[in-house]
Amino acid sequence: MVRARMTWLLTAFMLLTGVLGWQSGRSAPSPDPDDESYQYTLLFARVVQLIRQDYVDEDKVGYKDLTYAALRGMLSSLDPHSQFLDEEAFQDIQQETKGQFSGLGIVIGVKEGLLIIVSPMEDTPGGRAGLMPGDRILKINGHSTAKMTLTAAEKALKGVPGETASLTLMRPVAGVPGGGNVFEVNLTRETIRVASVKDARLLPASMAGQDKIGYVRIEEFGDNTSDELDHALENLERSGMTALVLDLRNNPGGLLDSAVDVAGKFVPPNTVIASTKGRTPEQSQEFRARSERQHPDYPIALLINGYSASGAEIVAGALKDLNRAVLVGETTFGKGSVQTVQPLGNGVGLRLTMAKYYTPSMKTIHEVGVSPDIEVPISDTEERRILLAEQKRPLTPEEQAEVAKMEDRQLERAVSALRSVRIYNERQAALNAAPKTTAAGEPAPNPADGAAR
């Protein structure tokens, strides 16, 4: 009986590896006792058999439970972004890219081995609680995150609307490496609806003077971002916009195609926006601008910071390399790897890192980030005030006092750069239009007039 069970396990696992090999376009090798794959497949099957046979709690050793646990461990051992998606996780990720999911409204990531908040979303439980980019998550519902994978943390944060979650966080303090202020928050989960394009407006004369400078903030890249941005830009253009500030600060990324479409709105069609390189030719490809609606060639300043990640870095790297925008702020997060979601059937899937991103000039993004043209670092206090000013909810008296002190030096520097471009262009145009004169002040002869040369 034990031998029959062992044979069944081995056959099932070889069939699984064969299916995955077919999915990736490769043929699975035949079982060969001298082949390394056969040796370790046998080891896996032997361990599953021993667990099924001898583990003390029989209710924990179902084939599904063991297989899912093995797949989770296998994927999480590769990098923080690859993961096995069980039925719940696979459904969540499909809903999230469509702009709706249930949770606390915070985007998390791993930086220097620590679980941190990359971006609190506006008008969500996390945003309303005043959580900040860079806050380190120490515990979720009392469970330490020290050995928690990114996948496990994401699952712990999501849940049914109306349920509460307790977070223990540490907010870094300048001049205290590795330390900070520890605090706790209790948040109630909600259905999060993500409108990615925010605050489209002309900047006030108190900041822009007589220049009509538009401002648009993109919170993340989803299915609807391209259409939302087109709508916002068209309204601003009808209002006479002559320059644009595009704010990608604290933007955690999102869909690759959406980011490519956003960058593609400002460059000629078919321009290379980004490329990827992986282990196989199929994973190495170029992504080109494909927008059918081109916008005027107005000057653009792009705001970035240390929590602009992934898709935001693609847009920033492309517009910088293509000389289409001046980047203002701080070096970006440095998350430049490509994850694809592959359905495996029966409601489960796989999110796997397949390649790395490169800018049009083939500069790497991963673990390096995109540096600004004009560096304008700001303090955590300044950033908190900017985030509070973006909130649509009623602020407490204490928060109102903080917002009253707000000074967005990065935005001000971006506006200053755009106004300088306008002044320079106007003076160059005037210079080119003026009649050329000799040293004596007489109009210079035209070489086409037939004078001997």
CA distance linking residue 281 with residue 232, whole number of Å: 38
Smallest CA-to-CA distance from 388 within 370, 401, 373 is with 401
- Tokens 């929590």, residue located: 307
CA distance linking residue 37 with residue 60, whole number of Å: 27
CA distance linking residue 302 with residue 289, whole number of Å: 18
CA distance linking residue 331 with residue 306, whole number of Å: 6
Q: Which residues contact 100 (CB under 8 A, 6 or more apart)?
A: 191, 192, 193, 194
What is the number of other CB atoms lying within 10 angstroms of the CB of residue 254?
25
b/e map of 211-221 (b: 16 or more CB within 10 Å)?
bbbbbbbbbbb
Q: Where are the beta strands (DSSP E) in 308-428?
A: 326-329, 337-345, 348-358, 374-375
DSSP state of 211: S
Active site residues: 310, 321, 335
Contact 17, 38 (CB under 8 A): no
CA distance linking residue 451 with residue 453, whole number of Å: 6
**Which CA distances in Å does 93 have to 24, 100, 116, 351?**
21, 10, 20, 10
DSSP state of 448: G
Element (H, E) at 183: strand 180-188
- Tokens 């035209």, residue located: 446
Q: Where are the alpha helices (DSSP H) in 172-246?
A: 205-208, 225-238
Give the dihedral sign, CA 410/415/420/422. positive
Contact 52, 66 (CB under 8 A): yes
Contact 4, 52 (CB under 8 A): no
3-state secondary structure of 299: coil
**Which CA distances in Å does 245 have to 206, 218, 235, 370, 419?**
16, 11, 15, 18, 11
Smallest CA-to-CA distance from 387 within 178, 123, 45 is with 123
Which residues partner with 375 through β-bridges? 329
